[in-house]
Amino acid sequence: TDEDETVNQASALWSRPKSEISDEQYNEFYKHVAHDFENPLAHIHARVEGKQEYTQLLYIPSKAPFDLLDRGARHGIKLYVRRVFIMDDAEQLMPLYLRFVRGVVDSNDLPLNVSREILQQSRDIEAIRGGCVKRILGLLEGMADSDDEAEKEKYKTFWQEFGRVLKEGVGEDFANKERIGKLLRFASTQADTTEENVSLADYVSRMKEGQEKIYYVTAETFTAAKNSPHLEIFRKKGIEVLLLSDRVDEWVTSHLTEFDGKPLQSVAKGGLDLGKLEDSAEKEEAEKAADEYKELLEKVKTTLGDKVKDVRVTHRLTDSPSCLVADEYDIGGNLQRILKAAGQNAPASKPILEINPNHPAVQRLKYEETRFDDWANLLLEQATLAEGGSLDDPAGFVKRINDLMLALSLGSAGK
């Protein structure tokens, strides 16, 4: 093909010493192999000697291709054996989470008649792939950890273009999970902006004295994450929370369960225990409220029936009347919605309704008789909407709101 002729005319650029190759030549070669008009973001050129002998010239593009999120799209690395072109898109040379990498691998050891089938079983290929992954992760680490502003800026560009795909590696590449974990970037309540620039190391360095966990919230959109009622107590206490709104984030947190010895904890799962971050007076007040509201909790639970797993007093809320929480080992509401949207069956699990005893709507419920069922259902429906869920009976919700508004207006008019 024309491309192979170009490579031959360039006298297999990768086989020449690095000192003889200019940046311009590296960039031109990239444009040929990647069919790209833009210069690459970065490249790595290395000759590996030992059990396997091969040369790698690998590039990270500066822009994501339109089909980046399609895990079936074929791109990847061109394979040569002793400068003879063997195949395009040798996907065995790079794992799926690094599918954006372009370039050439030239082996001295593989047979010239190597096929895709042989590649799948080849130990040599496994070793080459492992070597390529290490080089790319090293290249990214060099950018991410650099003190040079230009390199930091490059990593920022890389993350904006390819971060979502790199996240897949947390669950796919067990051997490099920690290295990938260090490369991840997130939005957080520290800046409250959509910019994903917080590393887990940054988060840990800012943890409050006595804080033992890395807290995060997942939602379908950044706005839903930022405004989640589950953040209320964390905002009040100034505890940073990671705001995760990529679909792949649910996958990340299910595989990356700790970092630097600190467990990752969803703010919307299990019983919230802030440990040393909670003072004894707050604990006493919570215990007292749980006792005082015991009868009401039972009544709400009876009203809501099988819509909820349990009803309890909350430690999370300061302003909202209620929120939904997943039991520690149950699947969260956001993941349930993602699976449902993808046409998959989510394991059946009911939410726990937590109510805020300091909220007027909950305090009113203690003395409510005629419209108790409506108010109890409203607490559940509000909490469902606040976490980005949808209602089974939206018309019923609207009618309930209208009826309660009318009852309240008539009540105040009669005073």
Q: Give the pLDDT score at 173.
A: 92
- Spatial distance between the Cα atoms of 278 and 239, rounded to a whole number of angstroms: 12
Rounded mean pLDDT of the chain? 87
Residue 260: Cβ within 10 Å count:
14
Q: Where are the domains of the chain?
A: 2-144, 185-266, 275-413
Cβ neighbours of residue 113 closer than 8 Å, sequence gap 6 or more? none
Q: Give the pLDDT score at 411.
A: 64
* Average pLDDT, integer, range 282-304: 86
Please, is 287 exposed, middle or buried when counting C-beta atoms within 10 Å of its C-beta (0-12, 13-18, 19+)?
exposed
* Average pLDDT, integer, range 138-163: 95
Per the model's pLDDT, the better-predicted residue between 342 and 233 turns out to be 233
Report yes or no: 21 and 11 within 8 Å, Cβ to Cβ. Answer: no
Q: Give the pLDDT score at 71.
A: 66
Per the model's pLDDT, the better-predicted residue between 58 and 8 turns out to be 58
Per the model's pLDDT, the better-predicted residue between 414 and 259 turns out to be 259
pLDDT of 379 higher than 70: yes
Per the model's pLDDT, the better-predicted residue between 347 and 161 turns out to be 161
The CATH classification of domain 275-413, taken from the options 3.90.1150.10, 2.60.40.3080, 3.20.20.150, 1.20.120.790: 1.20.120.790
Q: Give the pLDDT score at 149.
A: 93
Q: Give the pLDDT score at 284.
A: 79
Report yes or no: 203 and 286 within 8 Å, Cβ to Cβ. Answer: no
pLDDT of 292 higher than 70: yes
* Average pLDDT, integer, range 279-308: 85
CA 302 to chain centre: 37
Which CATH fold would you assign to the domain 185-266? Rossmann fold (3.40.50)
Q: Give the pLDDT score at 6.
A: 46
Q: Give the pLDDT score at 261.
A: 94
Residue 303 pLDDT grade (very low, low, confident, very high; cuts 50, 70, 90): very high
Lowest mean pLDDT among 55-59, 287-291, 302-306: 287-291
Q: Give the pLDDT score at 281.
A: 75
- pLDDT tens sequence across 55-102: 999 999 999 887 776 766 766 799 999 999 988 887 789 999 999 999
Residue 43 pLDDT grade (very low, low, confident, very high; cuts 50, 70, 90): very high
- Spatial distance between the Cα atoms of 283 and 366, rounded to a whole number of angstroms: 22
Triad 18, 22, 28: Cα angle to 5° = 110
Nearest to 241 by CA among 279, 195, 191: 191
Per the model's pLDDT, the better-predicted residue between 127 and 73 turns out to be 127
Q: Give the pLDDT score at 4.
A: 52
* Average pLDDT, integer, range 250-279: 85
Per the model's pLDDT, the better-predicted residue between 249 and 387 turns out to be 249
Residue 18 pLDDT grade (very low, low, confident, very high; cuts 50, 70, 90): very high
- pLDDT tens sequence across 227-252: 999 999 999 999 999 999 998 898 89
Residue type, 88: D
Kindly report the pTM of this predicted structure: 0.86
Per the model's pLDDT, the better-predicted residue between 195 and 408 turns out to be 195
Lowest mean pLDDT among 5-19, 125-139, 285-299: 5-19
Q: Give the pLDDT score at 247.
A: 86
- Spatial distance between the Cα atoms of 90 and 84, rounded to a whole number of angstroms: 14
Q: Give the pLDDT score at 89.
A: 80
pLDDT of 16 higher than 70: yes
- To 10 degrees, what angle do helices 2-9 and 23-34 make? 160
Tell me the CA end-to-end span of the chain in Å, nearest whole number.
Answer: 89
pLDDT of 409 higher than 80: no
CATH of domain 2-144: 3.30.230.80
* Average pLDDT, integer, range 221-231: 92
Q: Give the pLDDT score at 11.
A: 63
Report yes or no: 324 and 351 within 8 Å, Cβ to Cβ. Answer: yes
Q: Give the pLDDT score at 199.
A: 96
Q: Give the pLDDT score at 9.
A: 46
